[in-house]
């Protein structure tokens, strides 16, 4: 059995987080994001964002986790308070949002995404979180399938993000955390 784990991200992980995001988006998001957006991304820009998220998170409840297989960083998840609360949301102060959950495609189908998702639940539940949400592009069928297979459902909300060269439509998925 492979040596697999999930742990908190450190500053030393940032270059790999940026590489994983860029490589994964350029491969898996070809039909999700407009080509000019993908072409405009750089490892340096992405690394700067992840460095800030890991070393100076926007809140004490914001976390970045890294999925490991042996010595390799294979994916990550970022989550924290829901910054996009809606008036009709049930108990919005007890809702957390996954802002990104990625597993590099070559490491897919090995349980890393499920381990990351379980770790998010394990870290948020003791803080009183009873509901998780995630915005997922409609065209990202792999992520939609992943979340749905874990029991998440669309809650009826959609949004269109203007990328400057096109629009990306996202659905909000949610899951209640059982006691």
Q: What is the DSSP string of 75-115?
A: EEEEEEE-SS--TT-SSGGGEEEEEEEEE-GGG-SSSHHHH
pLDDT at position 88: 86
pLDDT at position 179: 55
Packing angle of the helix pair 43-55, 14-28 (nearest 10 deg): 130
Best CA proximity match to 13, nearest among 24, 21, 25: 21
Average pLDDT over residues 85-106: 91
Measured between alpha carbons, how far is 33 from 11 in angstroms, rounded to an integer?
Answer: 28
Average pLDDT over residues 170-175: 97
Average pLDDT over residues 8-15: 98
- For residue 23, give every residue at least 6 positions away whose Cβ sits within 8 Å of its Cβ, in sequence order, or none: 104
Measured between alpha carbons, how far is 163 from 158 in angstroms, rounded to an integer?
Answer: 16
Q: Is 56 exposed, middle or buried (0-12, 13-18, 19+ CB in 10 A)?
A: exposed
Domains along the chain with CATH numbers:
4-176 (3.40.630.30)
Question: What's this model's pTM, rounded to 2 decimal places?
Answer: 0.94
pLDDT at position 145: 96
pLDDT at position 126: 94
Average pLDDT over residues 58-73: 96
* Pick from 48-57, 78-87, 112-121: least confident: 78-87
Average pLDDT over residues 35-49: 95
pLDDT exceeds 70 at position 1: no
Measured between alpha carbons, how far is 4 from 169 in angstroms, rounded to an integer?
Answer: 34
pLDDT at position 169: 96
Do 135 and 144 touch, CB atoms closer than 8 A? no
pLDDT exceeds 80 at position 178: no
Measured between alpha carbons, how far is 120 from 96 in angstroms, rounded to an integer?
Answer: 9
């Amino acid at each position: 059995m492979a040596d697999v784990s999930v742990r908190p991200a450190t500053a030393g992980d940032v270059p790999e987080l940026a590489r994983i995001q860029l490589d994964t988006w350029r491969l898996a998001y070809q039909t999700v994001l407009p080509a000019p957006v993908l072409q405009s991304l750089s490892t340096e820009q992405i690394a700067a964002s992840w460095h800030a998220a890991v070393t100076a998170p926007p809140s004490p409840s914001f976390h970045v986790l890294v999925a490991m297989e042996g010595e390799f960083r294979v994916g990550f998840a970022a989550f924290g308070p829901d910054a996009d609360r809606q008036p009709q949301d049930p108990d919005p102060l007890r809702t957390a949002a996954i802002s990104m959950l990625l597993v590099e495609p070559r490491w897919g189908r090995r349980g890393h995404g499920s381990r990351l998702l379980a770790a998010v639940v394990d870290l948020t539940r003791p803080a009183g979180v009873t509901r998780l949400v995630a915005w997922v592009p409609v065209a990202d069928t792999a992520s939609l399938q992943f979340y749905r297979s874990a029991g998440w459902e669309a809650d009826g909300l959609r949004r269109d993000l203007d990328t400057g060269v096109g629009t990306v439509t996202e659905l909000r998925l949610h899951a209640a955390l059982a006691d």
